[in-house]
A and B are shown apart, each in its own frame.
Chain A
């Protein structure tokens, strides 16, 4: 596609999204905000899975870390100094743990939203990739991590709020969160974060780093024997995806007002990957649109028939993997090829005839 046309499309989409608070109801704006936040995570999956071929089935962990860090801050911000969150008192804790208290400071919390998931992702990736574990084994490891993480959150009720998670946020930076102006501001912040992340990823894929990632997916040992350390490149890519996941999770709970273990476990982690696959994992715009589409689909279908969604998402995944491996963004190209097959089938024969 023409470069300028592409840029014009990006700009038009951004404008349509930026004006959403003026034409969407408060309910739909909140939904759109959540899904735009999810799209930030999808960009990260596009870098790791779409480019470097690293499939993570546990991205919910890093998303959840970002979400919980901000949720801890929001819980503390709503309390008078010296008070403890209610669930801690019910669980018989007599003082606030120090690792909770550090996030009382909003700047520490903001830094934590990015750094905690980044460091966790980098540490895990380095340990695994350094030992040359990859492919399906890595996917299974991350899946196990998601299971461990959600189980841990549920079991440590005194520190995490258990199965119910953390909710009842009402102030941030001294402002009331139910204020309609606040909702709009959060929406625009989410959109700006997405646009920034999109720009960052697009730039990154054009650098040598982006080229090496593709090369690693293609032939890791050739890359190693050209003097690159695949483990280092993969670790950095995974850490970046972790950072984007953390930001995504934090922004999401500002719209949703709740974080719980059910949102970070195995099933949500797989849904994150499915949304990316549906859009087209190696196209940044594809994963953003795919995320919006799948999440709106989920919302619409599950509010009409709650038990139907799991079947639809499963069928969608099978359909995309088998029929459209490059996702919905490849649909225009496929349609064009199909058209040329149908309408120009006679052409080669005509050429042969003219030679005779």
Chain B
């Protein structure tokens, strides 16, 4: 097996004695999509927090491109090539759509290198490319606050893409979207997999089915099962977890 882009190794995250992640392990290959599902409180968002450095694991390691990033500062992890979209759209509402993307696309994020009046040609080209990708060219000079909810979600996905990260972490990218928008979002994510590795969290099974990607099921802070959506659906243990009857099913 080729060396993975990201490898989460036996990570435990404790909050006051409660293990939100409990010996969690996960490997992601370059240019792939992986969907993470699981009941509320399974630790999905905590896993993203641990990867991006927002919470520090009490045990275990996060390895990105062969480098241990477990104790690295959040913004430095982002510069290494991991970018996250939050559950609630985290766009900058008082800036224009294009400025939001340009900010994400800037290559020089250190304070002392921020004094250029114009973004570099690469950053501008990147902004244009992403504007096309998320279909917001005509709204480029709109304030981000003027966008619809679905468009705001796309803009934030666009920002994550514009940052040119190799690994994109998308926390419920289709939340609150209409059926049409959700379908478009799935197609967008599939097209992004040509250049990026993407980890998606979602609840909506229709959306997950549209992604047509391998699924990992989380439960109680660790992976319960990995497989295609079909395999997952037909697994009695997982049905039990989702229906809250975990105790009746003997563990495999």
Which of A148-156, A219-227, A309-317 participates in binding chain B? A219-227
Residues of B89-136 at the interface with A, using a CB-CB cut-off of 8 Å, are: 90-95, 99, 102-104, 106, 108-111, 114-117, 119
Return the contact of B91 from the options A222, A224, A232 (Cβ within 8 A): A222
Residues A218 and B109 in contact, CB atoms below 8 Å apart: no
Query: Whole-angstrom distance between the alpha carbons of A255 and B6 in the complex?
Result: 63
Which of A182-190, A202-210, A334-342 participates in binding chain B? A202-210
Residues B99 and A227 in contact, CB atoms below 8 Å apart: no
Chain B nearest CB from A331 CB (Å) reads 21
Query: Whole-angstrom distance between the alpha carbons of A103 and B74 in the complex?
Result: 43
Residues B99 and A211 in contact, CB atoms below 8 Å apart: yes
Residues of A225-244 at the interface with B, using a CB-CB cut-off of 8 Å, are: 225-229, 232-233, 236
Contact string, A32-53, partner B, CB cutoff 8 A, digits 1/0? Answer: 0000000000000000000000
**Given A209-B115, A218-B93: 15 more A-B contacts, CB < 8 Å:** A207-B116, A208-B116, A209-B114, A211-B99, A215-B95, A218-B92, A219-B90, A222-B86, A225-B74, A225-B75, A225-B84, A226-B104, A229-B73, A229-B110, A232-B110
Is A251 interfacial (CB-CB < 8 Å)? no
Query: Whole-angstrom distance between the alpha carbons of A221 and B85 in the complex?
Result: 11
Interface of A is mostly: helix
Chain B interfacial positions (CB closer than 8 Å to A): 52, 73-76, 78-79, 83-84, 86, 90-95, 99, 102-104, 106, 108-111, 114-117, 119, 159, 163
Query: Whole-angstrom distance between the alpha carbons of A119 and B75 in the complex?
Result: 25
Interface centre among A211, A218, A222, A233, by most chain B C-beta atoms within 10 angstroms, is A222
Residues of A265-279 at the interface with B, using a CB-CB cut-off of 8 Å, are: none
Return the contact of A236 from the options B108, B111, B117, B159 (Cβ within 8 A): B111
Residues A214 and B94 in contact, CB atoms below 8 Å apart: yes
Chain A interfacial positions (CB closer than 8 Å to B): 203-204, 206-209, 211-212, 214-215, 218-219, 221-229, 232-233, 236
Query: Whole-angstrom distance between the alpha carbons of A209 and B114 in the complex?
Result: 5
Which residues of A sit under 8 angstroms from B115, Cβ to Cβ? 204, 207-209
Interface of B is mostly: loop
- Contact A208:B92 (CB < 8 A) given known A224-B74, A228-B75, A236-B111: no
Residues A233 and B117 in contact, CB atoms below 8 Å apart: no
Which residues of B sit under 8 angstroms from A223, Cβ to Cβ? 92, 103
Return the contact of B78 from the options A207, A208, A225 (Cβ within 8 A): A225
Chain A nearest CB from B95 CB (Å) reads 7
Return the contact of B109 from the options A207, A227, A236 (Cβ within 8 A): A227
Query: Whole-angstrom distance between the alpha carbons of A204 and B41 in the complex?
Result: 45
Query: Whole-angstrom distance between the alpha carbons of A5 and B128 in the complex?
Result: 32
Residues B91 and A207 in contact, CB atoms below 8 Å apart: no
Which residues of B sit under 8 angstroms from A221, Cβ to Cβ? 90
Query: Whole-angstrom distance between the alpha carbons of A50 and B129 in the complex?
Result: 33
Residues B95 and A227 in contact, CB atoms below 8 Å apart: no
- Contact A214:B95 (CB < 8 A) given known A225-B83, A226-B83: yes
Return the contact of B92 from the options A215, A227, A229 (Cβ within 8 A): A215
Query: Whole-angstrom distance between the alpha carbons of A215 and B115 in the complex?
Result: 15
Which residues of A sit under 8 angstroms from B102, Cβ to Cβ? 211
- Contact A208:B74 (CB < 8 A) given known A214-B95, A219-B90: no
Residues B79 and A227 in contact, CB atoms below 8 Å apart: yes
Query: Whole-angstrom distance between the alpha carbons of A223 and B86 in the complex?
Result: 12
- Contact A227:B91 (CB < 8 A) given known A208-B114, A209-B114: no
- Which partner residue on chain A sits nearest B52 by CB separation? A225
Query: Whole-angstrom distance between the alpha carbons of A225 and B77 in the complex?
Result: 9
Residues A226 and B103 in contact, CB atoms below 8 Å apart: yes
Which residues of A sit under 8 angstroms from B110, Cβ to Cβ? 229, 232
Return the contact of B163 from the options A209, A214, A226 (Cβ within 8 A): A226
- Contact A222:B111 (CB < 8 A) given known A208-B106, A227-B75, A227-B78: no
Query: Whole-angstrom distance between the alpha carbons of A158 and B73 in the complex?
Result: 46
